[in-house]
């Protein structure tokens, strides 16, 4: 079937009336009827059952319609990619990222990039690290920002920055005024943690394992602001990036004490599917993040 035939056939199949289809296609009814007759002769089967002026796809027509619809979608996608390649100032980047990166890292990245490529737009989605990685692998996201490095196969990874980690305690906690603290010093405390599957939960579990204890989890949630708030009112302790932004609410913020444990860092990186071919817009943004990481301080 010629690509020019796809549009009129799909229109006719969806409207099921020659007159309505001809009007939408800016053709005469006899012309559209002759086009359909030629197509059916070429295929050797009738595609529609006739009921006066009404057409209904028959068994052959339904099979042909599904293939034609998929073919049209592929051609539309190809046209979009060609337009993106011919005009790299346009395009869409589907970026997924962890909640904890939405306050500073993602805005800083996008603002810097848009100063150079203002007509490229973004679709943003926030979720757990495992969900972000899965979205990149199944093609619903072009790129992802996660921490720590995912272990899934088929994922490209480039570290962008390392964030120092701190023990978060209530402002009146016995350790609140310390300059440094080892995680083992709160081994008997109740921890407030992200849900399993979130990057900061994996970081917490790994740090506690290195300190030779298993954390006693009192609360689980999916937002670092919630964790900070629960810590601030005395419901437990947690791990947060050292420069986590203040909440700015009426209650005091938790005290953040730098960890003295070995490698108390969270590495944040960009992920992509190694089997996907990036559009020009995605490639430009990915290259920008690499340059951005090279010129900014290595520790946030």
Mean pLDDT by 10 residues, the chain (300 residues): 75 91 91 92 93 89 91 79 64 91 90 85 92 94 94 94 94 96 97 92 94 96 91 96 71 91 90 92 94 74
Per 3-state DSSP, what percentage of the chain is helix, strand, and coil (rounded to 5)? 45, 25, 35
Sequence-distant (6+) residues with CB within 8 A of 296 are 161
Q: Which domains does the chain have, with CATH numbers?
A: 3-86 (1.10.10.10), 91-160+267-295 (3.40.190.10), 164-265 (3.40.190.10)
Residue whose token pair is 């197509």: 39
The confidence score (pLDDT) of residue 76 equals 77
The confidence score (pLDDT) of residue 51 equals 87
Residue whose token pair is 């150079």: 116
The confidence score (pLDDT) of residue 297 equals 62
The confidence score (pLDDT) of residue 83 equals 67
Cα separation values, 211 from 30, 208, 256, 263, Å: 82, 5, 19, 12
The confidence score (pLDDT) of residue 9 equals 92
Question: Tokens for 108?
Answer: 């800083």
Element (H, E) at 114: helix 105-114
Cα distance between residue 10 and residue 287, in whole Å: 40
Cα distance between residue 52 and residue 54, in whole Å: 5
Cα distance between residue 75 and residue 71, in whole Å: 6
The confidence score (pLDDT) of residue 226 equals 92
Whether pTM exceeds 0.85: no
């Amino acid at each position: 079937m010629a690509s020019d035939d796809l549009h009129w056939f799909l229109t006719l199949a969806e409207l099921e009336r020659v007159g309505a289809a001809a009007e939408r296609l800016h053709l005469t009814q006899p012309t559209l009827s002759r086009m359909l007759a030629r197509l059916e002769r070429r295929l050797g089967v009738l595609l529609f059952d006739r009921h006066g002026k009404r057409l209904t796809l028959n068994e052959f027509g339904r099979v042909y319609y599904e293939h034609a619809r998929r073919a049209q979608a592929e051609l539309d996608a190809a046209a979009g990619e060609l337009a993106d390649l011919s005009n790299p100032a346009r395009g869409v980047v589907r970026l997924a990222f962890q909640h904890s990166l939405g306050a500073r890292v993602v805005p800083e990245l996008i603002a810097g990039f848009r100063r150079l490529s203002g007509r490229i737009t973004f679709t943003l989605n926030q979720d757990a690290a495992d969900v972000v990685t899965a979205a990149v692998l199944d093609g619903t996201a072009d790129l992802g920002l996660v921490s720590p490095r995912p272990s899934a196969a088929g994922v490209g990874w480039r570290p962008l920055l390392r964030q120092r980690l701190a023990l978060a305690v209530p402002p009146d906690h016995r350790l609140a005024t310390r300059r440094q603290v080892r995680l083992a010093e709160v081994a008997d405390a109740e921890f407030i943690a992200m849900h399993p599957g979130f990057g900061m939960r994996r970081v917490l579990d790994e740090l506690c394992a290195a300190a030779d204890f298993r954390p006693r989890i009192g609360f689980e949630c999916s937002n670092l602001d919630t964790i900070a708030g629960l810590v601030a009112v005395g419901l437990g302790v947690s791990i947060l990036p050292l420069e986590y932004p203040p909440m700015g609410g009426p209650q005091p913020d938790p005290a953040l004490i730098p960890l003295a444990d070995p490698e108390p860092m969270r590495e944040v990186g960009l992920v992509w599917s190694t089997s996907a071919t990036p559009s020009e817009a995605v490639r430009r943004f990915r290259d920008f993040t690499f340059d951005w990481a090279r010129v900014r301080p290595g520790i946030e």
